[in-house]
Structure 1
Amino acid sequence: MDVVALYRLAVERVPAYRAYLENRCGTVPDVSSAEDLAALPFTSKGDYIKAYPLEELCLDGTLRGKHVLCRSSGTKGKPFFWPQLPEQERYVADWLYSDLDESFSLSTNPVFAVVSLALGSWISGELTSWGLRNLGVQKGGLTMVTPGLDLDEAVDLMGAFAGQFAGTVLYSYPPFARTILEKAADRGLPLASYRLGLRLAGEGYSERYRDHLNGLMGYEAGALHSIVSGYGSTDFGSLGKETTLAIAIRRCLYERGLARAVLGRDEIPSLCQYDPSAFHVECDGEELVVSKYQAVPLLRYRTGDRATLIGYDEMMERLRDAGADPLDLLFRRGGALDRVRELPFVLVWGRIDGGVTFYGANILVEQIREIVEGQELFCSCCTGQFQIRKRENEALEPVLEILLELRPGATGDPAELAAVLASRLAESSTDYALIRQKEGDRALPRIRFTDDGELFGGTKFRYVG
């Protein structure tokens, strides 16, 4: 993308950005090339987005022409709302159509879409529902239902209607999609006959998860076309797509144990391809930084995500050096080589601050710290040192685990601590409050005590395990 043109547009038409530059730099820097961009200050939600009135962050300093407001994760009980431009939604509709036509031949076959995402002002459910409804009106061939987070209703609707269509696609979050499919299988629904596809949002998932859900849907464990996710945020929209090539690469890493050889780490991150014509991305250390044209234009915006950027040629060379050929794997598993695009990759490892995404809700280190350091129940038995972990249990359900360091000679009740932590966390995070309401005890944190010094892996303390 023309990031220089984006900079000039923001300087001319976004009052808050011009004020931000004058405050940070003393003047408005002259930017005539992409290289000059490196001299500009970073922006973030804390020091830029929340520091100015919403209208001043928008193009032309007004909400006029921004036809919808979508919320991002709420902290301190108060969400932030991001205005959207009409062209942002047109892009969503176009992307949905190309995906459905490629995967389900929407132009010639009827498709049933089940949207089991948070509805209302949450952006994933709002934009997906709008885009699909628009496709149904403009192009036909698509019938949709929106059970939202009523998972039993989602199962009921699939059982009632999926058999009447050439294909069914479920839009949901990874843990909810698993629950829906398991409930459907327990009811005896013929999932294998539905030609199911999953489109997932909100958080990453393991290849064990893919194996399990592929089995429920009647596919081979390592099928590449049935489960697709992406990388994005309410802040800047959908940045990356988990293409069939990206999935084939993950399968190479997983099935052959090549993660360390190719990526230098044992874990397998979320792995997507992105289009440089729509986003300008860079990394400051390990943090992903995004520039993008939208209702609230972003210049050098810190995402808070730990990421690695790898070009197409470099990724393929790393895999060849490790003895892997993802294109061959893609071809052998029914993928279309002519649809492969030589786009760069974004690998997302987690949050910079050590927070985690749990049932689609961002759980921040600062939120946990305030509870651990501010609640008497915790202060009486714990040192204040903690770590946050998200793991999968044997049922492939996400588990939010909090490791606490006990004071010498002290004891604590994990169940009581978990209940207090959940209650206080629901007060500071509207997203977690919704998950707690919907999932009940499955959303409760699991408290585990550690011995003195166990949390310190060297001289630098990390809040994420």
Structure 2
Amino acid sequence: MKTHAHTTRLAAKILDDITTKNSAYWKRREQTSALTLFKEAAVRIPAYKDFLKQHDIDPRKITTWKQFQTVPITDKDTYLRQYSLAQLCFDGTLHKPMVFASTSGSTGKPFYFPRDRELDWQQSVLNELFLKNTSLGTSSSTLVIITFGMGVWIGGLINYQAFELVSNRGYPVSILTPGVNKDEVLKALRDLAPLYEQTVVVGYPPFVKDIIDDANVQEIPLKKFNLRFLFAAEAFTETFRDYISATAHVKNPLLDTLNIYGTADIGPMAFETPISILVRQYATKNKKIAERLFFRKNASPTFAQYNPHFITFETLSENILVTGNNIVPLIRYAIGDSGGVYSLGDIIEIFRSNDIDLLQEARSKNIPIYSLPFVFVHERKDFSVKLYGAIIYPEHIREALLDQSLVAHITGKFSMQIKYNRKNNQYLQIHIELRPHTDASRKLTRHIQKTIVHYLLQANTEYHNNYTHFAKKVTPKISLASYGSPDHFKIGIKQKWVEKI
């Protein structure tokens, strides 16, 4: 068993690697880590040993990175659901300390993933890095308010355990876990936050927005708290980051906001850094950069860096594959997301081709530059709707609902689905949640409808083409729902942006 002193030294070494190692080191580390895990899994995991046998793969002949990339892909259906949980674990046994987390079931039946303290520790290294990136210094007293649900999902518990590990390494961190009890979160902001030099709010982006909006309505003096935000569970746009930063009086969004790309399958996989946020900000404003980076002009994918000490990413036909260790190790595992992988050098060259010196821009903003590899992740196609052939992603609607003319009336949460009328013609139905004490009206409904259409025409060329030919058919129908409406907006659970019939 690793001692506290050993894990503290190891965390310090990895944090030093993040700040000092170059891209060549990370490439070597990534490939070595993946090959080492593959060889161990091929010997010690009964399910993976059988999986390789079924695909006529002799693991002894896989000795190079190029050969590793020929190993068959695994996923939930072709691998995880084909074997018992014990068979998926090292040495075929469950006789070890474990904590379970469940997937949300967004794409099918929930799956229960076990993890050990190693993943909590990996998350703690990320959280420590976030704490270090502050102008206040690491000796500042810090209140961490965790607003993720503290149930079977991974976000709440892993962040509690990770911040506890960070505090055990000598940081003056105090933790409160109100979960999705918004009244308790607001009480903590009012009564506890003033006692600390900075406050970190950890949570699901739409719920955090609810908290900040309500705090401002209640005249809680957020400006005094040096608020910082650690998000996870879904992507958001730079407009959303700007909104949170302005309404919560965030000092430096590059340093004081961070979104994690993670999953119950294997925990935190990648994380925003100041340089990744800066790149994304430029891509939001510069369509040429966005198209070079993300293969789409009007996209707001998650864009993050990852630590090859812990995880390896590959892409195959834009499908993201991940290799990482856990109680149930995953080898070339198709997570179900699409995107791509870059080195820092790749990003620098894309910016240079657009006459921008990325490193100079970063230095001018006094932010750290890490040579860790990058990954971008688009919203899943199964989290979208198709209206007369045009794919409508939730990000298009989210952006529209952050329009300054709307934010005083609505929370930003919505649910959309394709329906059919009596003539069997399809139409887009969007249910939108009102702010507390806001009444629905025809005037507000029409204004929201016009705003959404305006943003869709700018962001979606297929929709624009359809609107030119049959505007009435593709104009969405808007339904306004009261705050916390149980039909579409149950308080405290992950928002379901797309409903399938």
Shorter-chain TM-score bucket reads 0.7 to 0.9
- Structure 1 partner of 2:382: 355
Distance in 1 between residues matched to 2:359 and 2:428, nearest whole Å? 52
Distance in 2 between residues matched to 1:155 and 1:63, nearest whole Å? 41
- Structure 2 partner of 1:65: 96
Kindly tell me: are residues 406 and 38 of structure 1, through their superposed partners in 2, closer, same or farther at Cα, counting changes over 3 Å?
farther
- Structure 2 partner of 1:401: 416
Kindly tell me: are residues 240 and 447 of structure 1, through their superposed partners in 2, closer, same or farther at Cα, counting changes over 3 Å?
closer
Distance in 2 between residues matched to 1:174 and 1:228, nearest whole Å? 11
Instruction: Give the AA of the match of 1:223.
Output: P
Distance in 2 between residues matched to 1:40 and 1:434, nearest whole Å? 45
Distance in 2 between residues matched to 1:8 and 1:326, nearest whole Å? 39
Distance in 2 between residues matched to 1:130 and 1:8, nearest whole Å? 30
- Structure 2 partner of 1:457: none
CA shift at 1:136, angstroms?
A: 3.4
Q: Check conservation: 1:104, 1:111, Cα contact below 8 A.
A: no
SS at match of 1:69: strand
Residues 1:389 and 2:393 aligned together: yes
Instruction: Give the AA of the match of 1:233.
Output: T
SS at match of 1:47: coil
After TM superposition, list the pairs within 5 Å mapping 1:5-154 onto structure 2.
5-25=36-56, 30-74=61-105, 78-103=109-134, 107-154=138-185
Kindly tell me: are residues 440 and 58 of structure 1, through their superposed partners in 2, closer, same or farther at Cα, counting changes over 3 Å?
closer
SS at match of 1:135: helix
Distance in 2 between residues matched to 1:443 and 1:32, nearest whole Å? 44
After TM superposition, list the pairs within 5 Å mapping 1:147-296 onto structure 2.
147-219=178-250, 223-260=253-290, 262-263=292-293, 264-266=295-297, 267-296=299-328
Q: Percent identity?
A: 23
Kindly tell me: are residues 302 and 412 of structure 1, through their superposed partners in 2, closer, same or farther at Cα, counting changes over 3 Å?
closer
Residues 1:438 and 2:467 aligned together: no
SS at match of 2:254: coil
Kindly tell me: are residues 152 and 32 of structure 1, through their superposed partners in 2, closer, same or farther at Cα, counting changes over 3 Å?
same
RMSD of the TM alignment (CA)?
Answer: 3.3
Q: Check conservation: 1:386, 1:403, Cα contact below 8 A.
A: no
Q: Check conservation: 1:306, 1:348, Cα contact below 8 A.
A: yes
Distance in 2 between residues matched to 1:293 and 1:137, nearest whole Å? 24
CA shift at 1:113, angstroms?
A: 0.5
Distance in 2 between residues matched to 1:43 and 1:114, nearest whole Å? 37
Distance in 1 between residues matched to 2:169 and 2:290, nearest whole Å? 47
Q: Check conservation: 1:262, 1:322, Cα contact below 8 A.
A: no
Paired residue total: 403
Instruction: Give the AA of the match of 1:389.
Output: Y
SS at match of 1:103: coil
Distance in 2 between residues matched to 1:302 and 1:414, nearest whole Å? 32
CA shift at 1:204, angstroms?
A: 0.6
Distance in 2 between residues matched to 1:296 and 1:322, nearest whole Å? 43
Instruction: Give the AA of the match of 1:311.
Output: S
- Structure 2 partner of 1:316: 348
CA shift at 1:249, angstroms?
A: 0.8
After TM superposition, list the pairs within 5 Å mapping 1:322-361 onto structure 2.
322-333=354-365, 335-336=366-367, 339-351=368-380, 354-356=381-383
C-alpha distance after superposition, 1:377-401 (max 9, x if no partner): xxxxx99x99663121243714332
Q: Check conservation: 2:275, 2:362, Cα contact below 8 A.
A: yes
Instruction: Give the AA of the match of 1:438.
Output: I
CA shift at 1:214, angstroms?
A: 0.9
Moved more, 132-141 or 277-286: 132-141
CA shift at 1:120, angstroms?
A: 2.2
Distance in 1 between residues matched to 2:204 and 2:140, nearest whole Å? 26
SS at match of 1:57: coil
Distance in 2 between residues matched to 1:409 and 1:291, nearest whole Å? 45
Distance in 2 between residues matched to 1:306 and 1:62, nearest whole Å? 33
SS at match of 1:119: coil
Q: Check conservation: 1:287, 1:302, Cα contact below 8 A.
A: yes
Distance in 2 between residues matched to 1:243 and 1:148, nearest whole Å? 25
Kindly tell me: are residues 325 and 278 of structure 1, through their superposed partners in 2, closer, same or farther at Cα, counting changes over 3 Å?
same
Kindly tell me: are residues 86 and 218 of structure 1, through their superposed partners in 2, closer, same or farther at Cα, counting changes over 3 Å?
closer
TM-score normalized with structure 2 length: 0.73
Instruction: Give the AA of the match of 2:379.
Output: G
Instruction: Give the AA of the match of 1:292.
Output: G
SS at match of 1:97: helix
- Structure 2 partner of 1:460: none
CA shift at 1:140, angstroms?
A: 5.0
TM-score normalized with structure 1 length: 0.78
Q: Check conservation: 1:15, 1:56, Cα contact below 8 A.
A: yes
Distance in 2 between residues matched to 1:434 and 1:412, nearest whole Å? 20
Q: Check conservation: 2:419, 2:426, Cα contact below 8 A.
A: no
Q: Check conservation: 1:389, 1:401, Cα contact below 8 A.
A: no
Kindly tell me: are residues 386 and 46 of structure 1, through their superposed partners in 2, closer, same or farther at Cα, counting changes over 3 Å?
farther
CA shift at 1:321, angstroms?
A: 1.2
Moved more, 223-232 or 44-53: 223-232
Kindly tell me: are residues 244 and 114 of structure 1, through their superposed partners in 2, closer, same or farther at Cα, counting changes over 3 Å?
same
Instruction: Give the AA of the match of 2:416.
Output: E
Instruction: Give the AA of the match of 2:264.
Output: T
CA shift at 1:176, angstroms?
A: 0.8
CA shift at 1:78, angstroms?
A: 4.8
CA shift at 1:84, angstroms?
A: 1.1
